[in-house]
Amino acid sequence: MSAAPGPLPPVRSSRPGPAKIAVLLSGRGSNFVALAEACARGEVPAEIVLVLSDRPDAPGLDRARERGIPARAVPRRGLGQVEQERQMIAALREAGAEWVCLAGYMRIVGPELIAAFARRILNIHPALLPAFPGLDGQQQAWEYGVKVSGCTVHLVDEGCDTGPIVVQRVIPVLEADTPETLAARILEQEHRAYAESLRLLLTRPWRLLGRRVVFDDIGGSTARPLVTSQG
């Protein structure tokens, strides 16, 4: 069961300055907004330096511009995946992005983009992976009749929702739930899970052991220097 909602305490990172994050989205951008607000409150030692979309009409782009965050579309149409992603990589590098957060980005990420930000691309999925990957995870879970569901933040690999898991948050599926009410309660948890994941990855030493993301001093001090993944 999830903990009671509430802001995380501010963190003081030993890292020199906030990490530079880019967000890729295709839609409304509520996860982007939640992440931007968590950064602004000091809960995540990061700043969002760029929002990119494959869709020029994505509402999330406007939500970024309202906050003064650079936002632009790189549509795939007319370019194809490889060239579109090359242009995205160029924009990400120009912005100085160190991490890429997929937040409702409705594309499978290709090998060049994954290699350009190796172990630095995150995705959020509205189900408890490895159950119900792909589209409409909330609806899939509701139709299947599971009694708990939730969300997963994971590192991105070349599969669809298959990368190593960073954080999962769990909620009960209620008798009275519809796919819509279940999705709404999962979304509340998504907004917490993304900030929690980045905060962990940016402030704790962590490693990949096989496909397990392991935080070495999960109970320890946040004042330790950032140690990035190995192996």
Neighbours of 154 (CB within 10 A): 24
Site map (CB under 6 A) of ligand GRF, residues 197-216, x = contact: --------------------
Residue 5, SS3?
A: coil
Cα torsion angle, 175, 179, 181, 183, sign = positive
- Bridge partners of residue 169, in order along the sequence: 151
Structure tokens at 147: 């009694």
Please identify which residue in 2, 11, 18, 27 interacts with ligand GRF, judged by CB under 6 A: 27
45 binds ligand GRF (CB under 6 A): no
Which residues lie below 8 Å from residue 96, measured CB to CB, with a gap of 6+? 20, 49
Nearer to ligand GRF, 113 or 204 (CB): 113
In angstroms, what is the minimal distance from the CB of 210 to ligand GRF?
25
124 binds ligand GRF (CB under 6 A): yes
85 binds ligand GRF (CB under 6 A): no
190 binds ligand GRF (CB under 6 A): yes
163 binds ligand GRF (CB under 6 A): no
In angstroms, what is the minimal distance from the CB of 27 to ligand GRF?
4
121 binds ligand GRF (CB under 6 A): no
The residue of the chain with the least Cβ separation from ligand GRF equals 104
* Catalytic, out of 55, 63, 125, 169: 125
Whole-number Å distance between alpha carbons of 46 and 197? 12
Whole-number Å distance between alpha carbons of 18 and 45? 5
152 binds ligand GRF (CB under 6 A): no
Residue 135: Cβ-neighbour burial (10 angstroms; 0-12, 13-18, 19+):
exposed
Q: Which stretch binds ligand GRF (CB under 6 A): 29-37, 70-78, 111-119, 206-214?
A: 29-37
Whole-number Å distance between alpha carbons of 46 and 37? 11
Residue with tokens 């969300």: 151
Q: Which stretch binds ligand GRF (CB under 6 A): 20-28, 71-79, 162-170, 211-219?
A: 20-28
Question: What is the Cα 33 distance to its own chain's centre?
Answer: 12
104 binds ligand GRF (CB under 6 A): yes
Q: Which stretch binds ligand GRF (CB under 6 A): 41-49, 93-101, 119-127, 200-208?
A: 119-127
What is the residue-wise DSSP string for 98-129? SEEEESS--SPPPHHHHHHTTT-EEEEESS-T
Catalytic annotation on 191?
Answer: no
Q: Which residues bind ligand GRF (CB under 6 A)?
A: 25, 27-31, 60, 103-104, 124-126, 187, 190
**Which residues are the active-site residues?**
125
